[in-house]
Amino acid sequence: MLRVFIGIGSNVEREANIRRAVAALQAQFGEVKCSPVYRTPAVGFVGDDFYNLVVEIETDLTVETLAAELRQIELHQGRHRGEAKFAPRTLDLDLLTYGATIGTYGMVVLPRPDILEYPFVLGPLADLAPELCHPTVQRTYRELWQGRIASEPLTPVPNFLSMQAEPSA
pLDDT at 59: 98
Burial 101-112 (b: 16+ CB within 10 A, else e): eeeeeeebebbb
Q: Tell me the percentage of the chain whose pLDDT exceeds 70.
A: 89
pLDDT at 163: 44
Catalytic annotation, residues? 79, 89, 92, 94
Write the Ramachandran bin of 138: left for phi over 0, alpha for psi from -120 to 50, otherwise beta: left
169: in domain: no
Mean pLDDT of 68-82: 87
What's the pLDDT band for 84 if we cut at 50, 70, 90?
low
pLDDT at 169: 45
151: in domain: yes
Mean pLDDT of 49-77: 97
pLDDT beyond 60 at 165: no
150: in domain: yes
136: in domain: yes
33: in domain: yes
User: 8 lies in which domain range?
Assistant: 2-156
166: in domain: no
pLDDT beyond 70 at 52: yes
CATH no. for residue 46?
A: 3.30.70.560
Domain count, the chain: 1
Mean pLDDT of 138-148: 95
Q: Strands 50-59, 2-10: parallel, antiparallel or unpaired by DSSP?
A: antiparallel
Mean pLDDT of 76-87: 72
Mean pLDDT of 33-62: 94
Whose CA is closest to 65, among 108, 32, 31, 30?
108
Q: At how many degrees (to 10) do helices 14-29 and 63-76 cross? A: 140
30-44, 57-71, 125-139, 143-157: the lowest-pLDDT one: 143-157
21: in domain: yes
95: in domain: yes
Q: Supply the mean pLDDT for the chain.
A: 91
